[in-house]
Structure 1
Amino acid sequence: MSTITERLGNLPLGKFHWRLLLIMCLGWAFDAMDTGIVAFVLPKLMAAWKLTSAQVGMIGSVGLVGMAIGAMMGGTIADYVGRKKVFAATLILYSLGTGACGLAWNYEALLFFRFLVGFGLGGQLPVAITLMSEYSPTNYRGRMIVLLESSWAFGWLAASIISYLIIPKYGWEVAFYIGAVPALYVFYLWQMVPESAMYLMKKGRIEEAHALVSKVEQELGVPQGRKPSPAEMETAATAPAFSVFQLFNPTYLKRTACLWILWFCIVFSYYGIFLWLPTLLVKAGHNMVQSFEFVLWMTVAQIPGYFAAAALVDKIGRKATMATFLIGCAFAAYMFGNAASTAQIYLWGCLMSFFNLGAWGILYTYTPELYPTEARSTGVGWAAGFGRIGGIVAPMVVAAMITGPDKIPLVFMMFTAVLVIAALDMIVLGDETKQKALN
């Protein structure tokens, strides 16, 4: 039964992989764009609708509630019905939900639509990363997954540019309408994205898996691997379904605990910082356009952060790269909170963004490597779902702490502590998975 896995893992990196990566990257970037737009809309909405800090925090948190539920449900469902179907369905849901946010007639309606957006976003990410992991050659898997995650920066950059150009002139509603455009992408995606051959194998659909892998081998110009034997087909057909509760059995408990702590801390820091960042900068005395400029440059700094992580993750390993990036982000967050000039805001803000998003790339590389195929999407989904609890809590914690500009250093000291905890978790509980074959 392992022949399909071995054939995929041993393939040379080629046109098939780059095409699949590009398709996944576009979906991932659309995800980021729809997430990022709301961060830039919030300062405008706060003034237009006379919202309190607690209400603004709730807009960010309700999307994370949707993401938590979507990740858990989407990841689990993908292990039953397939990666491709869930990826397409969630893309449609979050795109149309973002467009509907522009039609929101009051605060409560906006909360409802943001929940739908979050549900779709949360459901798509673990499925996309699982599918890309299962098709990536073993020796290049870390690099490919970090590059996939790097498209988040381009999506957020698109959100920054759209918000910078559109919101001041045309209003916040138009920015949301633009966020609905990715729904059209699903027609192309459905034609071009293959189902996971590893998923088909685990479901006993060995003939389909063999045909898929053979087609990839032919495209890459390598000899076709052997067809699975009748015994291997029978073993695959009788493989038991994976239960969520098995994530906590002795085989997976340490891995699950490590991942859930990592996800919680990284999501807490990311959404606590970046959803609030434009508003925090306004509260610190900068005007809205200037705050958008700060965030735009910080977003650009994410891109080399991803590329640095991609260069290191397959060379020095997941543990060392992750710990280094988390500690770097912790230090930059502390310095950003105490920045006293525009130059310091740019410097420490860009470094904070560089390290934080690089850590995200490693997180998405590392998570699917800790579970077997029948559990992979479930394991990724539930780790991501638990992590979203950190994202739900973070905006409300920041809202409660920000009673004036003098509280900003305290907020970033808190983020520093959370990131240090994440680094220690990876060092103590993490297992190295560099260049290990998936199973």
Structure 2
Amino acid sequence: MNTQTISTTESGGYLAWFHALTSKERRTFWSCKVGYALDAMDTQFLSFVIPTLIATWGLSKGDAGLIGTVTLLTSAAGGWIAGIMSDRIGRVRTLQITILWFAFFTVLCGLAQNFTQLLLARGLMGFGMGGEWTAGAILIGEVIRAKDRGKAVGMVQAGWALGWGTSAILYALMFSLLPPEWAWRSLFLLGILPALFVIFIRRFVDEPELYVAQKKHEETSAQQASFWEIFSPSMFSTTLRAVLLTTGAQGGYYAITTWLPTFLKTERHLTVLGTGGYLAMVIVGSYVGYIVSAFLTDLLGRKKNFILFAAGSMCIAVAYTRLPVDDSVMLFLGFPLGFFVSGVFSGMGAFLTELFPTRIRGSGQGFSYNMGRAVGSLFPLMIGLASKDMALGETIGIFAGIAYGVMMLAALTLPETAGKKLDN
């Protein structure tokens, strides 16, 4: 590191770490952040057009729910596969493939003529959606220096909130300019935009030096890394606890975000949830939560930060389901909701990167995060079944509490990795 970089870093300030990045590291940072934002944009289009599809196609709520569930399950499988691919063919190449994949099938969603075609296109799109997170998290985690890894990966993760906000703006624009039967298709057709971004990645983003060195070592030693190594005696305990950590985070997230709107509309009879103001509060809260958590994960350490945000998410679940609130209070509660349930994910990419050695990092990270996503996606179903015999608000609180409790226990048992230098 040169003298100028050292002086910049030592001068302090929240962005000193960013100014200290090399041009190569900055290109990687922005490529991953924009990639996440575009991934979120394409993914969130569905949530905005469901009411239109129900009205124009006569879809039932069950049909709409099935599309969402299938997308989650295929995204889990896609993330798992992308992890293996990133160890075999490279982080950057896998990132390019996954972005092209979800862009192509998002466009096909806009061309669908019936429910079956939309379900198939959306399910296939999920493979790319889940795969892009895995490839991007590994790539940025390996490029950034140890002491700044949490901040960098967390701020890249914050791109999801930006993409969510962009999808909301495009929804408002398209539905103000076009009739509903054309507006929803135009949204999905805009999903081609991420494909153009691949041109930038292909030209300006290189494979991490760690990965290149690892592949050279495998070539000279004639020893190929195997996916199954993450289940070896030396790694099985780490893999299992990482799965429990991600299951808790995603199970709690799905439990709260899937059922809270229904609970508040049907049992509390609140109307603010359907307004743009409430959605804006949640999105802004999400972005701020990602950023704050990104800095805290380096400042406090990975484990303490997970516990802090998991506890905050539990409190939010209690506040929403137990406290008597009106529309005005609910509007402002949207900010802490987004802040905690999104911020809990900010340190996840850096932590999983540090838990697994380079030769199996993609396999370990891809499997752990996406197995947690697959198991976590069952929480909304379990809440729906349990709510037949219990009050919905009470059921949400119980399952959210279980999920975040599992996350905190897993965090306590896993090693602290903040500042860990990745193996070469």
With the shorter chain as reference, the TM-score category is 0.7 to 0.9
**Structure 2 counterpart of 1:320:** 304
> Paired residue for 1:252?
235
**2:378 is paired with a residue of what secondary structure?**
helix
CA distance in 2, matches of 1:344, 1:249: 51
Aligned 8 A contact 1:13 1:140 in 2: no
Structure 2 residue 408 is the aligned partner of structure 1 residue 396: no
Q: Report if aligned partners of 2:255, 2:396 keep a CA contact under 8 Å in 1.
A: no
Give 5+ residue unaligned stretches, structure 2: 1-18
Residue 357 of structure 1 deviates from its aligned partner by 1.4
Displacement of 1:87: 0.6
1:149-189: CA deviation from partner (whole Å, max 9, x where unpaired) = 11111111112222334346633222222223211111111
Residue 249 of structure 2, aligned match among 266, 277, 286: 266
In the TM superposition, what are the counterparts of 1:20-99 in structure 2 within 5 Å? 20-99=28-107
Provide the residue aligned with 1:200 in structure 2. Answer: 212
Aligned residue identity for 1:331: C
* CA distance in 2: counterparts of 1:190 and 1:318, whole angstroms: 32
In structure 2, which of residues 380, 402, 406 is the aligned counterpart of residue 417 of structure 1? 402
Q: 2:274 is matched with which residue?
A: 290
Number of residue pairs matched by the alignment: 399
Q: Is the 8 A contact 1:264 1:387 kept in 2?
A: yes
Which range moved further: 367-376 or 38-47? Answer: 38-47
Higher deviation after alignment, 99-108 or 330-339: 330-339
Q: Which stretch shows the higher mean deviation, 90-99 or 408-417?
A: 408-417
Cα deviation 1:211-260 (Å, max 9, x = unaligned): xxxxxxxxxxxxxxxxxxxxxx6x86216222222212232122111210
Partner of 1:180: 192
Q: CA deviation at 1:389?
A: 0.9
Aligned-residue CA RMSD in angstroms?
2.6
1:191 to 173, 181, 203: 203
Return the TM-score normalized by structure 2: 0.86
Is residue 24–residue 205 contact of structure 2 (8 Å, CA) maintained in 1? Answer: no
Which residue of the partner structure matches residue 3 of structure 2? none
Question: Counterparts of 2:44 and 2:258 in 1: how far apart (Å)?
Answer: 8
1:112 to 90, 102, 120: 120
How far has the Cα of 1:140 moved from its partner?
A: 0.8
Aligned residue number for residue 332 of structure 1: 316
Structure 2 residue aligned with 1:432: 416
- Counting aligned pairs with the same residue, the percent is 28
Partner of 1:383: 368
Name the residue aligned to 1:306.
290
Is 1:237–2:220 an aligned residue pair? yes
| Residues 407 and 166 of structure 1: CA distance in aligned 2, closer, same or farther (over 3 Å) | farther
Aligned to 1:207: none
d(CA) in 2 for partners of 1:390 and 1:353? 22
